[in-house]
Amino acid sequence: MKFLIDECLHTSLVALAHDAGHICEHVTFLGLGGYKDWQLMARIRSEDYTFVTNNRTDFTGLYAQEELHSGLVIIIPNVTPSRQRDLFQAALSHIGVRDLINAVLEVELAGGDATCREYPYPRS
């Protein structure tokens, strides 16, 4: 998979994706920090990124307009970089080697543990 990590998440998530054998960039490393969500969406679409963010509301709205996309990973809630790494690691384990075509994966804390919930999106 090819991930793009949003600027609201720590840059250390890139190394986790690389260690799992994925291509991964961070918005900041690409000089896209401060871009509007719709501007990022154009880049996400054109380069077939699976986007990783904490910004559920804005990006589910943007992804609802896409007929075909490479997936969206949402890390909930806004937590420390260490916890972000734990949650992203859980997402990577959940995904394995498959793609998230037209799917959203939400990863959140439940009683101190990471839980993953995947669903088709946009919903038919």
Which single residue is written with the structure tokens 């690691």?
Answer: 89
Q: Long-range contact list for 79-82, CB < 8 A, 24+ apart?
A: 79/109, 81/10, 81/12
Give the residue ranges of DSSP H helices in the chain.
13-19, 37-46, 56-63, 81-95
* The token pair that represents 27 in the structure block: 């918005």
Rounded to 5 degrees, what angle do the CA atoms 6, 8, 14 make? 50
Residue 49 is classified by DSSP as: P
Per-residue confidence (pLDDT) for residue 95, from 0 to 100: 97
> pLDDT grade, residue 65 (50/70/90)?
very high
pTM of the model: 0.96
